[in-house]
Chain A
């Protein structure tokens, strides 16, 4: 199971990387952690003439606090988020989601930016980004721009990023005041892609509820968030969510099963978030 040939590039700066993407367009693919991309290359389900290795650019890795925002640079390893005290404090939902991703060997290489850019609808980070109201920072030879998480994920493995753009940072707003966060998922086995999952964030006056595994992107149900803010019981919030989703079916679960599980998880997540929020 060997990949097709490609030209390998290992730029040292973001500018170099963007220049390569500008030159090669859709013939080039950024290589971050490789935990999702390399299997597809090995199976020859995907192939690119050029791979641009993002792992040798110091400016693309690291976590820092920028006032009310936690800035996670694109090539930051997922494992860093598991251990970094800043992350636990500023974005507990991000810290809680990380151990659910695959296995520790995967998290040793997998990156935050890679996971977001890959945009698998059953993965955790995109839903967390949507729930927290994050912004994704994209750089290209033409400059940088920011896209809200709500607008970033457009379909299965499809984002608003152009072929010549690099996801250089994910900017998570730090939710202040008494908050409650919960992430719940059900997978066939530990570490598998979720059959259904939900990321829930609750503060006084603000709620974020994003499901994963139940659509082609993270799914936010505005009516459910409104109900949550209005103090509706967890079961009611869950019922609103289930009416609004039409999950996919595959060998692992039917649409009905995913919806059923989603409902159960939303109720659980909402309950936990509310308890945590109430406890201040």
Chain B
């Protein structure tokens, strides 16, 4: 899988350096960290969505043999600093507290922290806590939360509206929507609540030493530097005395980007107790109380001319923020509105976005937190196309932003460039044989079978605009024997950073891949960085590495030039040798230069510093864009309402790929999460806010038998950043839900049935088919 720009390493599907330890069970995840003197934690959690704590007596729990401490809000909360993440320190959000204090606001909210010899005993102690909660009426869905008579989720605030932002409707757009446009299509789409489900749950080991005043933690995190700052703040410890480490992290998909309530509470408790505390979340807790996502509603309007061209759009978006959103309150909402027109030309657009508090689990970041813009838009495109009697592919062809339209400024202000939505659209259509499928669809229909095809076209921002997310620093350090250690503030959790960044460094320095080692996931030995998330590693960490390597290379060449009495401009580094271009026999080995730089410093050129290292910081442009087109074909079983995915194709443009194998792996994981999030996964509450899907028996994650072989095509439009890379880690999960939805909608449309919400379960699809059958002729 080599691209046209493949170098020795960059562009190659190099096998991953992290694999051997992970394959042999030698990975080191947070639960594998076993420190002497560790005590184990368990949280007692609310089983009521909203209510007052009428009685709380922990005496019996404290008495249980093996229990070290039982902490309540009275013990911890007064000692807690802020729990807001760095990004939101100046923004007042939901009044977060370590432990529930006097009242509870969602099922799963932590109330008591038990610390014991082991988790078994800790859970025994939970059962001995005497607690009574007077249940009060809870609001479970945003529509109810925003009613005038709705009880307040947060009594400290004045309403359940967490955020409201509007992009005003220009008069021309208003006129179009008021009837001026030849075609006005309106639809409401609902995406349902589901959640990240990393295979490794959250966890922390927090070791506080009162004598030194230092807190050493290990965490399942995507962002050790953010964790360090957050822990320092809540625990009241100067940040330089806090260390956060993570060697291996079992997935996150956004859940572990910010440091959440439980981890912060355990760190605070470790500080207060002066002990080493370990908390490993169990799966039920992870499903109920970590974070949820994707609960959005969008009322959409498209104004379209007689040729099917988009004249303007309006989106009214409402998102469910839960009770204590992680990281941001409806932080994705504005981006949903700003990106709604996506890869299509539209002169006009406006939107309103709101986020409502509800007595449910926190909304948190999940792979493309803003992706509802693609869900709503792509599903709207298909609905609009069908309404005006046009094939959805044809509609897209007429409206997609083409190469000649670039740079294209969206009606809401951001500018797209270096993107290729039109090219990916064509590549995906060709790969899936769109026209051939249409013929097959008709043949199947004649036999009474319902087949459908759906597209999902999108542009994906990897944002650099929010400090500190736009910056990464790389320290490239050459050892006296020539091998290289690279320290990065990243924290890989599946995307192979140990390999991809080593590829970049080996390529830039001209040395062997085996001689490069990436060090990450440790706030003490890496420079302050952005962590790993938001599709930023390739661009931001990659270019920080590139810039640091440039410094090292220049130094090495300077030394070599001096040693060989040659001009630095005449030298090149090839296969770990610095040689005169055109005269390869005049050369000095890389490892020799490194040795001299450290151990024979008298031979260095005048003024040259001892050693061989470089540090560089790269700040990303506010936005860089990748894009892709997903195409999905399905069969809907009319008898059972089940959906079988027949083929799944992705045409991806993420610029220059560092490792095509890893890129495709990222796409695949996202696609299958999208399939899960459209057909199977659903976090369900009853009307009183009690969770009904609390284990893997009820919350259904896709397995090998629910997914097809995914086929890939690649388009390569380099970004403007050095190296030409673009972030793409989230994209697979962005294009897939609408592609699957559109395929099912396309199948149902054959018999006049319609859908407007997910998940597409047998219940939903049989009801949709029935509704068609029941409709008057």
Contacts and interface: CB of A to CB of B under 8 A. Distances in A.
Contacts of B766: 256-257, 260
A186 B703 CA distance: 16
Interface string B666-684: 0000000000000010101
Nearest to B284: A1
A4 interface: yes
Contact of A251 (B123, B124, B682, B705): B682
B639 A189 contact: no
A192 interface: yes
A27 B679 CA distance: 42
Contact of B124 (A4, A43, A191): A4
A253 B766 CA distance: 11
Nearest to B283: A1
A21 to B, nearest CB: 26
A39 B698 CA distance: 13
Given A1-B284, A2-B119, A251 B640 contact: no
Interface string A185-201: 01011111101000000
A156 interface: no
A256 B124 CA distance: 42
Given A5-B124, A195-B762, A190 B640 contact: no
Which residue of B123, B640, B695, B706 has the most chain A CB atoms within 10 A of its CB atom? B640
Given A2-B123, A4-B124, A253-B761, A188 B680 contact: yes
A254 interface: yes
Contacts of B703: 189-191
Nearest to A256: B766
B763 interface: yes
Contact of A189 (B124, B282, B640, B700): B700
Interface string A234-260: 000000000000000001111011001
Given A189-B702, A189-B706, A257 B641 contact: yes
Contact of A260 (B282, B639, B693, B706): B639
Contacts of A256: 766
A257 B762 contact: yes
Interface in A63-115: none
A5 B121 CA distance: 9
B118 to A, nearest CB: 8
A261 B120 CA distance: 43
A274 interface: no
A140 B120 CA distance: 33
Interface string B683-717: 01000000011010110101101100000000000
Given A261-B639, A261-B640, A264-B640, A254 B763 contact: yes
A44 interface: yes
B763 A186 contact: no
A189 B759 CA distance: 14
B174 interface: no
A256 B766 CA distance: 9
Which residue of A3, A190, A252, A264 has the most chain B CB atoms within 10 A of its CB atom? A252
Interface in B699-752: 700, 702-703, 705-706
B188 interface: no
Nearest to B696: A39
B695 A43 contact: yes
A110 B641 CA distance: 31
Contacts of A192: 697, 700
B399 interface: no
B642 interface: yes
B698 A251 contact: yes
Interface string A1-40: 1111100000000000000000000000000000000010
A253 B702 contact: no
Contacts of B127: 4, 44
B693 A44 contact: no
Contacts of B124: 4-5
B642 A186 contact: yes
A5 B127 CA distance: 12
Contacts of A5: 120, 124
Contacts of B695: 39, 43
Nearest to A192: B700
B680 A189 contact: yes
B157 to A, nearest CB: 32
A193 to B, nearest CB: 8
Interface string B633-671: 000000111100000000000000000000000000000
B397 to A, nearest CB: 36
A190 B700 CA distance: 11
Contacts of A39: 695, 697
B763 A1 contact: no
Contacts of A253: 761-763
B98 to A, nearest CB: 23
Contacts of A261: 639-641, 762
Contact of B284 (A4, A43, A251): A43
A251 B684 contact: yes
Contacts of A191: 703, 705
A256 B770 CA distance: 11
A276 B464 CA distance: 66
Contacts of A264: 639-640
A11 to B, nearest CB: 25
Interface in B543-591: none
Which residue of A1, A3, A192, A193 has the most chain B CB atoms within 10 A of its CB atom? A1
B282 A1 contact: yes
A114 to B, nearest CB: 17
Nearest to A254: B763
B698 A2 contact: no
A260 B698 CA distance: 21
A188 B692 CA distance: 17
Given A1-B284, A2-B120, A186 B682 contact: no
A251 B692 contact: yes
A261 B680 CA distance: 18
Contacts of B697: 39, 192-193
Contacts of B282: 1
A186 B640 contact: yes
B36 to A, nearest CB: 22
Contacts of B706: 189-190
A257 B763 contact: yes
B316 to A, nearest CB: 29
A35 to B, nearest CB: 12
Nearest to A249: B763
A269 to B, nearest CB: 13
A211 B93 CA distance: 53
A181 B761 CA distance: 30
Contacts of B120: 2-3, 5
Given A253-B762, A260-B766, A264-B639, A188 B700 contact: yes
Interface in A164-211: 186, 188-193, 195
B757 to A, nearest CB: 16
A2 B118 CA distance: 10
Interface string B126-152: 010000000000000000000000000
A247 to B, nearest CB: 12
A1 B697 CA distance: 15
B35 to A, nearest CB: 20
Contacts of B698: 251-252
A192 B640 CA distance: 16
Given A189-B680, A189-B705, A190-B703, 14 more contacts: A1-B283, A1-B284, A2-B119, A2-B123, A5-B120, A43-B284, A186-B642, A190-B706, A191-B705, A192-B697, A251-B684, A251-B693, A253-B761, A261-B640
Interface of B: 119-120, 123-124, 127, 282-284, 639-642, 680, 682, 684, 692-693, 695, 697-698, 700, 702-703, 705-706, 761-763, 766
17 contacts: A1-B282, A5-B120, A188-B761, A189-B680, A189-B703, A190-B703, A192-B700, A251-B682, A251-B693, A251-B698, A252-B698, A252-B761, A256-B766, A257-B763, A261-B640, A261-B762, A264-B639
The 3 closest A-B pairs by CB, nearest first: A190-B705, A264-B639, A1-B282
